[in-house]
Every structure is written in structure tokens, then in C-alpha cells.
Chains A and B, each alone.
Chain A
Amino acid sequence: MNRVHSILMFGVAMALSTAAMAQDKTVKVGNLSDQSGLYADLGGPGSTLAAQMAVEDSGLVAKGWKIDVIAGDHQNKPDVGTNIARQWLDVDKVDVIVDVPSSGVALAVNTVVKEKNAVFLNSGAAASDLTNSQCSPNTVHWTYDTYLLANGTGKAVVKAGGDSWFFLTADYAFGAALERDTTAVINANGGKVLGAVRHPLNTSDFSSFLLQAQSSKAKVIGLANAGGDTTNAIKQAAEFGIVSGGQKLAALLLFITDVHSLGLNIAQGLTFTETFYWDMNDQTRAFSKRFSERMKNKAPPSMVHAGVYASLIHYFKALEALGGNPHDGAKVVAKMKEMPTDDPLFGKGVIRADGRKIHPGYLFEVKKPSESKGPWDYYKLIATIPAEEAFTPLSQSTCSLVKK
């Protein structure tokens, strides 16, 4: 009797453990970002906070899931980024890597994640290559990309009469992609590009480059750079009388942290494209209030932070629908593509076969100091780019996952 009892117990234990294996409810999220350099404010610690808030708001912890968030600093160097990614996926058993600003690092991490069959939810990087030539069944590109920036800001500026351009381009994957996509838009709309100068990433003095742009006599100086590079260029362009001399600056990528750092006096009147602004509606305001209360410098979320949050919310929904974490990146991403997205920050949307998340883009203008009613009240909405026009049409996609 005793023996039968123990065999039965063993059977029950076995059954329980296989059930537990089928429904593994542990998840590890890694925020791989620039934690201390020129992109740290738009991603960095804010993205870790956004990831933690997504974990809390998903409600999965109350349902018995165990979810950890860890963070790493890729220093905007592809080799550092891939090393951390490999360590995370091989040793620390990270399931999903989020954020990864700086396209050079993002493209490298994209390859590693595919090789290890994990999940890559990119928010911070811009290169449209992530969902075109470099697309992967393990990657979702959430927030924005160079196609959107080119078609948003680029098209608007050309249509307003800015038909000759000179680029100041950050000399790495992102800058090259943004210049390429914007040039295509300029040419398609009857404008032309007179020249470009490629500056090293993280340049503190832009006066030489601005002088070259000035002597090109182009109507528009396109800034194909980001973060500290963009703010330095804008500030110094004002100093050198570029704008008062009749040339217009087109900041192709500008984040709210950049506008804050420049101050409205210098930033006023700049037009640019983003997909999220904290003051859009009640839901974005509510989220931003909770977010900024927990930020050290009380800043509201940038669109990159918003993307980290929203993409993880959708990821957790997919895991819940799968009934557990299969630790199979391609399978989870396939489920994410199958389910329509709906979150408080970007509204309803979809993820396409190429990994591109689809939502509207917004053309904003920086307010005049007199128009701003309070801290961080910086943007006014000029135009909405409908979701179906915001990103590369599938018919033009070079992604191998798209069936034609």
C-alpha cells in the first residue's frame, strides 16, 4: 500500500512538473540602451522605467508571472552592444531586448537576436533597414523610422518651398539611412540635394560644417543626426546667423528632451515628426504624469520611452495568449503580429509581416515662449500623417518576410 502510494505521488509530481514546463511564467526583459552618452536622455534610464511600468501595468505579476527587468549600457558602440546582447541571451537567459537607440548597434543586435531566437522590440533606433533589407522574424520595430521622418518632415518642408537641400549627416548607419530616405522624398517631390557633409558622432563644434552648408546656398539645411548633435547644430546655427540669413533648418529627428535642452527661445518654430507626445490626450497625460513622477529629473516620456512601454505591453499580451513563455522568440513575435495592438499611448494598430508597427505620425512645431503655458508644454500639432502613409508601403518593402 505504502509503495503504491509513493508511486502515485511520483506520478502526480511528474504531471505537475510537465504542466509547469508547458506554462513557464518567467520572463526576463533587457533594456539595452545608451545609459550615459548623448542618447541617454531620450532612451537610457527612462526606458528602464518604461519597461518596469509595462511590467506593473500588464497585470501578469498578480497572475503568478515572474518578470525581471535588467539594463545595460551599449555606449553607442556596436561591439559593446553585441557583447552585452550575447551575454544576456546565452548566460542570463534574457527573453526580450528592448529600446536599443543608435542604428549601428540596433542592426548588430538584430542579427544576434535572430541567431539566438529571442525577441527584439526596437524603439530607439531609426534606420528603416530594420524592417527592410535586414528584417527578421524576431524583430518588431515599434516607434518610428527614417522613412517616417523623411516623409513627415522632409515632404512638408519641400512642399513649403524648401526645394534645395544640404545635409549635415551623422557619420554612421542612422545618418546614412536618414539622408538616403530623405533624399528620395526630396527628389520625388521635385527638389534637389546640393551636397552633404558627414560629421563624426558626438561632435561639439558644428561651426565648420554650418559654414559649408551656408556657402552651398541651399534653401534648407537638413540635420540628419540626433540628440546632442542636433541640439549643438541648432544652437550654433542660430549663433552664426544661418536662419536670419534666410536658410531654413530642418531637424529631421528631434526629441522632447532636445527641445527642453535647447530652450524655446532657440527651438521655437522648428518643425519635426514624432509618433508620441505626452500632451496628446487624457491617456497619454495620465501615463506621462505617472512616468515623470518617477524620473529623477521629472522629465515626461520621450517617444522612445513610450515605444518601450507600448511594445512590452503588447508583448506581454502575446505571452498571455500563448499561455506561458515558450522561450521561442519567433513564435512570440508571430503571435504579436497576429494580434491587433491596442495601448493607451499609440492607440490601435497592427504589426506587419516585416516587423513594422503601424500607427500615425505627427508633424509638430515647437511653440513660441509666449504660447507655452507650463513646464514641458512645447509642441503644437500641425498635421497628422495617417497610419497607412506613415511607413514604407509593403509593395516597396525589400524584406524577405513579405510575400509578394
Chain B
Amino acid sequence: MLGINTQALFGQLLLGLINGSFYALLSLGLAVIFGMLNIINFAHGALFMMGAFCAYFLLTWFDLNYWWALVLAPLIIGGFGIVLQHTLLRRIAGLDHLYSLLLTFGLALIIQGVFLNYYGSSGLPYAIPAALQGGTNLGFMFLPNYRAWVVVVSLAVCLATWFLIERTRFGSYLRAATENPQLVSAFGINVPLMITLTYGLGVGLAALAGVLAAPINQVRPLMGADFIIVVFAVVVIGGMGSILGSIVTGFALGIIEGLTKYFYPEASNTVVFLLMVLVLLVKPTGLTGKAT
């Protein structure tokens, strides 16, 4: 068919889906934080990187394996996020977006600089857990078990987060609190606490993605910086603050990027931004965004 190897094409689609699951997880955290807190969290990539480093430290210092890291790293880094929110971000709540962007961007540079200083740029090894090694031959490609695991986990977490925010009582409080914080606190709900917890949740999602990425990439100080720009493009395309939009766009862009890697690999780093420009021209609020 048009000289295209269909087997290879299926392979690229599947790989796109795998990368898309990282985009989805990261952009989901960004969307939660932006949608609920109105903060453009540029430190998201650095926190993602800290999640991966946390997994590495847990293994080398405390002998706690991957499965522990999967639970503990999001909690530890989420806790770190809560401290950040409580000490720094809280002070600029209500100011223009630009302030939170600058503050979190500065934080990201500091965090990356500290890690670069102590661990260098080439990174540290983190092995795939024994239970997920190996792979399955699907006929059209060899699917490593670990990659399949990543897709499953990220889909499950994305859906759970969406459910939490859109379908539970806690989620409805949260959404109400973003619309009108005074009115909600008048009902006796502790709005500042909810906001802090939400930031912690968003950061925890980034850390979880970091743990998932650790065995695939090297655990490197710049791993987040490489991802974050693409993820921001995903959020912009999906519509700032839209939970479902960022999940769907994350997976879709992963697939588009995968196809580009097959047809014209030189452009694979730029295709996402090309799409972003197109979407902004046609629908400036993003694919699922509401006009404000």
C-alpha cells in the first residue's frame, strides 16, 4: 500500500501510544493545577525529574525497589510540592498568571541546577524491575512488557483522576472553589487546604510519570526539561485546564509524533509545535477549551 510497510506502521502507532501515555500523565497534572489553581506550573518537568531521582535514591539508599517507588515517590515529591505551594505559590495567588509562571520557571532552573551540579548530565542507570522484563512478539513488533505496563498504568491513573474531579463530591467542591472561593468557604469548606492538596496531587502525578520513565530513559537532571516543552504544547492544544482534553490530546499527539518519526524523522521534534500553531490559529482556546 503506497510502499508503506503496514507492519512497521502498526508498530509506530503503538509506540506513539506509549509515548502519548507520558504526555497524558504530565499534561493531566498541569491541567489539574492550572484548572483548579490558575497556576502555570513550569516546575512540572523538574518535579517529574525529581520523581525519577526519588526512585533511584529509594533503590540505592534504602534498598526499596520499583514497586515501593511507584507508591512512595509520588507521596514524597507530592509532599515537597505541598511545601512549595504553602511557602511560595500561596503568596502569589490571585496575581497575574505571569507571576506564577516566572516563579515556577525559576524554581525549575534552581532544582535542575542543583541536580546537575551533583549528578552530572549523563544520568544514572535504573533497571527495569524483574517482573516486567522481557516482552511479547505481536507479529508486527516486539512489545517490551514494561512499555505495555506504562500504558496500562497511565490510562488507569488518568481515568481515576478524571473521575475524582468530574464525578465525586470532593471534585465538585474543588470545581466550585475555583469558580467562587468565598461562597464555598462560607459553606464551611476549607478552601486553602483543598488548593494545597490539589497542587500536591498534580505534583504527585508528575512524580509518578517520573518513576515510570526512570527505567526507559536514564535518570537525568534534564529529563524533565526535554519533556516539559512538548507537554505544554499538549496542554495548549487540548485547552488549558481541561482534564479530559489534556488526556485525549496527550495520547493523540504521541501517535502523531510516532507517525512523523516513521515518515519524516527529522521533523519529529517539531511536529507538535506545528500542530500547536495550527490549533491556535483556528481555535485559540484549544480543542476542548471554553471561551473565557
A-B contact count (CB 8 A): 117
Spot the interface stretch: A34-42, A137-145, A150-158, A179-187. A34-42
Docked-complex contact B258 and A208, CB < 8 angstroms: yes
B268 touches A199 (CB 8 A): yes
- Tell which of B11, B116, B122 touches A231, judged by Cβ atoms closer than 8 Å: B122
CA distance A207 to B265 in the complex (A): 12
Q: Is B100 located at the chain interface by the 8 A CB criterion? A: no
- Report B11-22 CB contacts with A as 1/0, cut-off 8 Å: 110011011000
Task: Let me know if A297 and B222 touch, CB within 8 A.
Answer: no
Residues of the A chain whose Cβ atoms lie less than 8 Å from the Cβ of B268: 199-200, 203, 208
A239 closest partner in B (C-beta): B144
Least distance between A183 CB and chain B CB atoms (Å) = 18
Inter-subunit contact A297/B120 (CB<8 Å): yes
Contacts of B38 in A (CB 8 A): none
Determine if A208 and B261 form an interchain contact, defined as CB atoms under 8 angstroms apart.
yes
Distance A18 CA – B123 CA, assembled complex (angstroms): 53
Q: Which residue of B lies closest to A37 (CB)?
A: B121
Known: A198-B266, A211-B141, A239-B144. A41 touches B122 (CB 8 A): yes
- How distant is the Cα of A191 from the Cα of B292 in the complex, in angstroms? 63
Pick from B12, B121, B227: contact of A38, CB under 8 Å: B121
A309 CA to B258 CA, complexed, in Å: 43
The answer on a CB contact under 8 Å between B265 and A209 is: yes
Q: How far is A262 from B217 in the complex, measured between Cα atoms in Å?
A: 10
Contact A200 B120 (CB under 8 A): no
Chain B window 139-181, contacts with chain A (Cβ cutoff 8 Å), 1 for yes, 0 for no: 0011010110000000000000000000000000000000000
What are 28 pairs between A and B in contact, CB < 8 Å?
A: A36-B116, A36-B222, A37-B222, A40-B121, A41-B121, A44-B121, A204-B226, A205-B217, A207-B147, A208-B258, A211-B12, A211-B15, A215-B5, A228-B121, A228-B122, A235-B125, A235-B216, A235-B218, A236-B216, A239-B146, A240-B135, A241-B144, A258-B122, A260-B122, A261-B122, A261-B125, A263-B127, A299-B120
Q: A200-B266, A211-B12, A239-B146 are in contact. List 16 more A-B contacts (CB 8 A).
A: A37-B222, A38-B222, A40-B121, A41-B121, A205-B19, A208-B12, A208-B261, A209-B261, A209-B265, A211-B141, A215-B8, A239-B128, A239-B147, A239-B216, A241-B135, A261-B218
User: Chain B interface (Cβ within 8 Å of chain A)?
Assistant: 5, 7-8, 11-12, 15-16, 18-19, 116-125, 127-128, 135, 141-142, 144, 146-147, 216-218, 220, 222-223, 226-227, 258, 261-262, 265-266, 268-269
